[in-house]
Structure 1
Amino acid sequence: MTYRTLINIESKRAELLGKEKEAIKILTLELSGLNGAEFYSAYDEEIGEEKETIIQEAINRYLVDNIPVQYILGYSYFFGYPFDVDENVLIPRPETEELVSYVLAEYDHYFSGEEVTVVDIGTGSGAIAITLAKEEPLMKVYATDISQPALVVAKKNAQKLGAEVEFIAGDLLQPLIVRELKFDILVSNPPYIPKKEEVQSIVKDNEPHIALFGGETGLYFYEQILANAHKILKPKNIIAFEHSYSQKKEMLTIAAKYFPQGKARVIQDMFGKDRIMIIVNDDKDD
């Protein structure tokens, strides 16, 4: 069987099962052992029995067992970097890449050329923290997570990608407060799905609930972080969050509650949905 034939057959099967056809192409490409150019050059060539079996088994895990493509492969690309992922960490999303881009842009605007300390709260796979450390050498990056298994994955990713990040186990800001650490930038993509909100089965059945659900309203972790953020932030600071597209008003209300002098704004993601909040506090803020 050729790659073209396999993809056509399995894409139709995916469509019948209500699954994403693009996942079939991704699995086939990634497991072919070929780069993009080589893959499309070999599109009409016979796959080979052993390789075809490996690809077919992976496709069945996605179509039949409802396992996310990234968990099947064991990695996910984020900002161009391959991050190891497993069932202990959330799969990085494109929207979170935008969060990282905005943090880098805000750094350039407010701290350009300065050494700064940055903390990623609830780091998971380490995608945000590691990417910031890789992209901006002047950032000294810390990252926290309450999940020890998640920190194992994050540390492995930092080592693999050659990033210097200090990982600290603990609940939200608590381990930072205890250590009396101070930061210029706080970034977080905390769990923000409301407890009773309907979630796709492929997400709910595979990704860690501790990284998905944010209490009854989805706002619990933002409230906890912002209520205590003053304890770990320097007078001039930037706070950046990813949040639910339906919570713009609520996020601005929480920001005004804890940082009334701060400049808070919500930015739309690539899909036109309210997704990222930036709060800037300058030296004159309380």
Structure 2
Amino acid sequence: MTNAHTYLTALRWGEDQLQVTSADSVAAQYLLLESHQWSFTQLVQHYRELMPSVEWETYQKQIARIAAGEPAQYVLGQAPFYGRDFRVTSATLIPRQETEELVAWILDDVVASDLHVLDVGTGSGAIAVTLKAERPEWTVTATDISAAAVAVARENATTQHADIQFEVGDLLAPVAGQRFDVIVSNPPYIDRSETAVMDDSVKRFEPDQALFAADHGLAFYQRFAATLAQYLTPNGQFFAEIGYRQGAAVRAIFETALPAATVTIRQDINGQDRMVRVQL
């Protein structure tokens, strides 16, 4: 059974629905591309085909959720990251391009094999799973304080055939007594004072504990700086995502706590401070 809508007219309808709201009308196309795993060229090739009625009903509901402010990735239950699709839920952050750049830095910078790697605050598991998939010879462990997030990460690891050890707990506590060659984290780093300028959908739908940190968003960097030496191997490296205005403050935190370490702040593709590397 079909309805009167082709993929093109359904797309135009979706765009029209979203244009009268604060939602990004591009999401109408994103839903079709991601749900079918189509490229834009493939979508165009299907423009004149009638959309099945069940799909049309689903599409209308998805557009309504996005019009109400919900991110398209949560509506679909998945988000792309480093060429792979990851399941996401309200228990996990939506993986973003800045984090892909962090992963790329690690893969470019760390060339040794047979390394032990730890991802702290793994969320959907995007970082840990990607590192394991790209470097199968690495032994990867991932932790998160949220059991619900770890459940999602486990599912993503299974889907991507990534053999990862998962632990639930606060920061480095679940791996007490262990040492790692590389520790990576995309920790909470937003200051509560920035709430007013944040995207409304982020505030409403993404998990608070994965977004906000005390001490002007610097609390987790302070905690890492105080404990890294106990968890890294002698020449180990720590990589983390940071807020775009935190470069100087993060550098000072690590240089003060670890005066013998080399601290590097790296900018993202937009020229903003977004990553830090600490090498013992």
Within the alignment, does 1:61 sit opposite 2:60 as a pair? no
**Aligned counterparts, 1:238-249, within 5 A:** 238-249=237-248
| Alignment-mate amino acid for residue 13 of structure 2 | I
Q: Secondary structure at the match of 1:261?
A: coil
| TM-score of the pair, normalised by structure 2 | 0.93
Any unmatched runs of 5+ in structure 1? 282-286
| Alignment-mate amino acid for residue 67 of structure 1 | E
Between 1:33-42 and 1:199-208, the stretch displaced more is 33-42
Give 1:14 deviation, angstroms: 2.0
Question: Following the alignment from structure 1 to structure 2, what is the Cα–Cα distance between the partners of residues 35 and 217?
Answer: 42
Instruction: Name the counterpart of 1:154.
Output: 153
CA displacement 1:221-274 (0-9 Å, x = unmatched): 111112111111111011101010001110110110122121111111112211
Within the alignment, does 1:163 sit opposite 2:162 as a pair? yes
Within the alignment, does 1:189 sit opposite 2:220 as a pair? no
**Contact between 2:188 and 2:217, CA under 8 Å: does it hold in 1?**
yes
**Contact between 1:173 and 1:229, CA under 8 Å: does it hold in 2?**
no
Q: Secondary structure at the match of 2:220?
A: helix
Give 1:34 deviation, angstroms: 6.2
**Aligned counterparts, 1:48-197, within 5 A:** 48-64=52-68, 66-108=69-111, 112=112, 114-177=113-176, 180-197=177-194
RMSD value over aligned CA atoms? 1.4
| Alignment-mate amino acid for residue 176 of structure 1 | V
Instruction: Name the counterpart of 2:264.
Output: 265
Within the alignment, does 1:39 sit opposite 2:38 as a pair? no
Question: Following the alignment from structure 2 to structure 1, what is the Cα–Cα distance between the partners of residues 148 and 105?
Answer: 28
Fraction of identical pairs, as percent: 36
Between 1:271-280 and 1:33-42, the stretch displaced more is 33-42
Instruction: Name the counterpart of 1:284.
Output: none
Question: Following the alignment from structure 2 to structure 1, what is the Cα–Cα distance between the partners of residues 24 and 251?
Answer: 35
**Contact between 2:22 and 2:67, CA under 8 Å: does it hold in 1?**
no
CA displacement 1:140-196 (0-9 Å, x = unmatched): 11111111111111111111110011111111011222xx11111110000011022
Question: Following the alignment from structure 1 to structure 2, what is the Cα–Cα distance between the partners of residues 168 and 49?
Answer: 43
Q: Secondary structure at the match of 1:77?
A: strand
Question: Following the alignment from structure 1 to structure 2, what is the Cα–Cα distance between the partners of residues 68 and 47?
Answer: 23
How many pairs align?
A: 273
Q: Alpha carbons of 1:262 and 1:30: their partners in 2 closer, same or farther (altered >3 Å)?
A: same
Give 1:5 deviation, angstroms: 2.3
Question: Following the alignment from structure 1 to structure 2, what is the Cα–Cα distance between the partners of residues 54 and 17?
Answer: 20
Q: Secondary structure at the match of 2:139?
A: strand
**Contact between 1:144 and 1:172, CA under 8 Å: does it hold in 2?**
yes
| TM-score of the pair, normalised by structure 1 | 0.91
Question: Following the alignment from structure 2 to structure 1, what is the Cα–Cα distance between the partners of residues 142 and 246?
Answer: 25
Instruction: Name the counterpart of 1:252.
Output: 251
CA displacement 1:120-143 (0-9 Å, x = unmatched): 111111111111011012211111
Within the alignment, does 1:28 sit opposite 2:27 as a pair? no
| Alignment-mate amino acid for residue 116 of structure 2 | T
Question: Following the alignment from structure 2 to structure 1, what is the Cα–Cα distance between the partners of residues 242 and 37?
Answer: 37
| 4+ residue runs over 6 A deviation | none
